């Protein structure tokens, strides 16, 4: 879904969820039943459902990862 209005007009929900998570969270909390909030929620659920394919630094399959705002790096926990 691509936004047609506001400060993020022209941006896709996929990019915004990753690059402007505060905006996505604000949208979901202020108008949770709105079309945009439902699109963000569905994307977040789809991202969360994806398996982690990189191994832990110990070589075992990773089961959990942590992401940080404004960073594309993941820290694998175990």
Give the total of residues touching Zn ion (CB under 5 A). 4
- Which residues ranging from 2 to 61 are in contact with Zn ion (CB under 5 A)? 56, 58, 60
- Closest distance between Zn ion and the C-beta of residue 18, in Å? 25
- Closest distance between Zn ion and the C-beta of residue 75, in Å? 12
C-alpha distances out from residue 66 to 31, 63, 74, Å: 27, 11, 6
Judge whether 42 and 53 are in contact, CB under 8 Å.
Answer: no
Q: Is 78 in the site for Zn ion (CB under 5 A)?
A: yes
Measured from the Cβ of residue 47, the count of other Cβ atoms closer than 10 Å reads 12
Sites of contact with Zn ion (CB under 5 A): 56, 58, 60, 78
């Amino acid at each position: 879904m691509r936004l047609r209005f506001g400060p993020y007009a022209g941006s896709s929900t996929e990019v915004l969820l990753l690059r402007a998570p505060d905006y996505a969270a604000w949208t979901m909390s202020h108008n949770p039943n709105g079309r945009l909030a439902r699109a963000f929620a569905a994307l977040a659920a789809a991202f969360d459902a994806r398996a982690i394919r990189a191994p832990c630094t110990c070589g075992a399959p990773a089961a959990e990862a942590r992401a940080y705002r404004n960073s594309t790096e993941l820290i694998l926990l175990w």
